Amino acid sequence: MPVALALTAALVASPLAQATAETPRTGPRIYKSLQGGTPTFSDIPPAKGAYVVYRPSCYACSVTSDINWNATKLHLDEYGDEIGLAAKQFDLDPALVRAVIHAESNFNARARSQKGAMGLMQLMPGTARMLGVADASDPAHNIQGGAKYLAGLLARFKNDVTLAAAAYNAGPEAVQKYAGVPPYAETQVYVQRVKILLQRYRQSLRG
């Protein structure tokens, strides 16, 4: 039986992250098409009309993911110095930086999207230049740039982690437009998973 996940709002691509080639596909292949102007998702390609294979824009963005986010392995030791330095520089909780890296790339420094987003925090080339990132493929530079962007979002949304996470995925303009988490399925699952990961990293890092 088809999955048939009809949505009321179109998905948008993150300004920072598009589908990473290294992100494993979980569950059946999902096909996206328009039915009466509404984006519809199914595990069976439609008999008529155009469709595309749906690819999530980041590791934690797949609406069909079967990962147990409350139990999946955490990355507690990787890039400790780089994360600690960036968190201190931009006054961020290191657990939040780890949660976003986990959600974006699952700590795969070589992750690269079809549209060019790069590295641990999946920076698009234009965003990297805007943030002054010299080499987005370098983990230290990537983390510093992503942390700077995340800190800016937190400042913009008055330290609301939910809104900052939504903006990291869907863009701050979308968050402002909807005065909250946008009604995009990908963004909504992303925010939920970042918050789960954040709580787990905080608990683990604090012992």
153-192 per-position pLDDT tens digit: 999 999 999 999 999 999 999 999 999 999 998 899 999 9
What is the pLDDT, as a whole number, of residue 38? 56
Please give the mean pLDDT across all residues of the chain.
82
**pLDDT at 7 > cutoff 70:** no
Strand-by-strand arrangement of the 38-42 sheet: 5-6, 38-42, 31-35, 51-53
Q: Which of 8-12, 52-56, 192-196 is least confident?
A: 8-12
Residue with tokens 């030791």: 77
The pTM (predicted TM-score) of the whole model is 0.76
Q: Any idea which of 36-45, 61-70, 195-204 has the lowest mean pLDDT? A: 36-45
The answer to whether residue 22 is catalytic is no
* Over residues 99-118, mean pLDDT: 90
Q: Which residue has the higher pLDDT, 173 or 1?
A: 173
- Whether the CB-CB separation of 186 and 61 falls below 8 Å is answered with yes
Nearest by Cα to 99 from 76, 130, 125, 66:
76
Distance CA 68, CA 17 (A): 22
Query: Among residues 22, 78, 104, 173, which one is catalytic?
Result: 104
